[in-house]
Amino acid sequence: MKAYFDERQLGHAPVHYFRRGAAMPHQEQPQRAEILRDMLIREGFEISPPADHGLGPIKAVHNPDYVDFLPDAHARFVESAGPEALAIPTMHPGRRRGKEPRDIHGQLGWWMTDTSTPLTEGTWEAVYWSAQTAISATDAVAQGARAAYALCRPPGHHAMRDCSNGFCFFNNACIAANRLRDTYGKVALIDVDVHTGNGSLDILYERGDIFFCSLHPDPATYPTFYLGHADETGEGEGEGASLNLLLEQGASQDDVLALLDEGIGAIRAFGAEALVVSLGFDMAADDPLAAVNVHADGFAEMARRLAALDLPSVLVQEGGYLGPSLADNARSFLTTFREAIR
């Protein structure tokens, strides 16, 4: 199973963000990707740099105006506010009536939902190559590979069609799923990151050709809030093609695996011909953002069950932060998946 990664993804280096009203160190650090990359090398994975597929696959999923806003947004912010200011929105348009302003500070609020996606000098290059990493892994699978792993960083599953959210700028998993539709009639996207795949839900909610399933704690009481409730099952052509499986905070490994089986059953019933996995290791019991209690053997069992679907699969990295077991959990999942598909 080949892996894809580009060192330019390390360029996004946010220092802090605001959580519960307080400034704190930003959890989504370049070191996350370095830990995962080094584990891949130790375990004998072939790591390839992604090809440059341009903006077309990204704009096929995201609002093109949002995509076009990002390349020079940091430079424009620095010109306006100075290099010491934090490039986050400080005003928002509310429920989205109105029009995009021309002022950079107003634009930040228009295209960014929260303080967790501060722009840095290297953000654009990092998010661009994170998306290209997902696209290259997808193309490998579309061209016949049984599976490929995209070490995407920054992650993507909170990014909505027209805004950043929750550490995420481009929704790499949705970009992958949409591109797989060029080859396969029905595609499933399952999200096993501990947080709601709210961006994926937003993007896919009215599509019937991509089935979306997310396992996560109840968004009524756990971030990212707002989307991911059990009664959100899709609209229009997408009615019945979204499935949110809710965990209790503090859920055990067995609880998680039982819900995973439910999601896998739904994927089989949908008749999926290919699979994308939004792969988060923040379900780990010792993750800094922990809410449930999965351990290394649990991640291995998740890999076995997903591999048993016997579908062409793109594994797209999402969360999993700088806890002590990050490398072990990633190794357990990825090496188990690799062995299971041989």
Which residues, including other chains, have CB under 8 Å from residue 104's CB and lie 6 or more apart? 73, 76, 77, 80
The two three-digit tokens of residue 164, written as one number: 């950043």
* Cβ density class 226-250: b for 16+ within 10 Å, e for less: ebbeeebebeeebeebbbbbbbeee
The two three-digit tokens of residue 40, written as one number: 């891949």
Amino acid at 89: P
How far is the C-alpha of 273 from the C-alpha of 140, rounded, in Å?
Answer: 16
- The SS3 call for residue 260 is helix
How far is the C-alpha of 111 from the C-alpha of 89, rounded, in Å?
Answer: 9
* Active site members: 158
β-pairing verdict for 187-191 and 210-217: parallel
Cα Rg of the chain (Å, integer): 19
The two three-digit tokens of residue 242, written as one number: 């979204």
Q: Tell me the C-alpha to C-alpha distance, in Å, between residue 240 and each of 134, 211, 212.
A: 26, 8, 10
